[in-house]
Structure 1
Amino acid sequence: MTVGTGSFEGLTQWADNSDIDCTIQFGRGSAPTRKKAFAFTEDFEDYCGNFDFIITHAGAGTVYKLLAAGRNLIVVPNVDRIDLHQLEIFRYLRANSFALCFTLQELSSLTRPLDFYCNDFLSRKISYFNEGFDVSGFVNLICPEN
């Protein structure tokens, strides 16, 4: 699970208290107490090599790098930020089925184990990366033309 370079206390706490087996990258936030965790690493993409899914904030840089690398994502927007760009990115990813997307409230109130939703997503997932990831819509979202 990653929050990027900032902090996302709600997501970090959710992961730390959840039943899922995960390692938490907590950025500038508070260190989790129950799960293996670290603040930062230069080799994050390499670190993610063996994970089936990566739970991430909806930060543009993180999402883009992980999608371009063909990773399966669970994206959760940090709506506590002053700007709401993560919510816009989250909505775009959800509308285009690029990732499994939950708000923190939705993630906290799932009625089935997270694996159920991951397996369902994988059974319906289209491989966007076989012919290359078309980033035009994503780039236009994060860098709109003036």
Structure 2
Amino acid sequence: MACRKLPPEAQKIFDKYCQNFVMKLKREDAIRMFTSDFHLNEKQAETMFELYDIDKNGQLSQWEFRQFYTNLGEHAAELFETFEKLNSEGAGSLDFEKTWDLLKTVKNANGKLADDSELEVFIKAAAGQEKKMDFGKFMNVFCRIKQSRS
């Protein structure tokens, strides 16, 4: 069963940026939170806001923050660092083989590396027939690996 509450440490982070007991963060507060508490640069923080402002209302609700924290949490900076290593040519999409090699080094929720068959399923589902991944698809695979318990 999925957890409906944020862990206490995550709730503290979110609450720090709330104003007048409203459980939503304005864009600038959310970006400040991403840069300060999750060690993202301004551009990365804006990317996270755009991805997780699911209803596109310019605010990050507690539910949207929970999606971010559940998917990435303290691994957000690692996600960007890993993507940048793979995207050294700046093409914005990643080569299948390079991605495979690097994702083989990412540990899951239990501190284990993904086995080949599991990683193959994750990457093929994200990369599709063109065998390329943009940042969104890469984030999807990264999150699946991090949340995997096998």
Q: Could you say which TM-score interval applies, normalised by the shorter chain?
A: under 0.3
Normalising to structure 2: TM-score of the pair?
0.25
Normalising to structure 1: TM-score of the pair?
0.25
Largest Rg, 1 or 2:
2
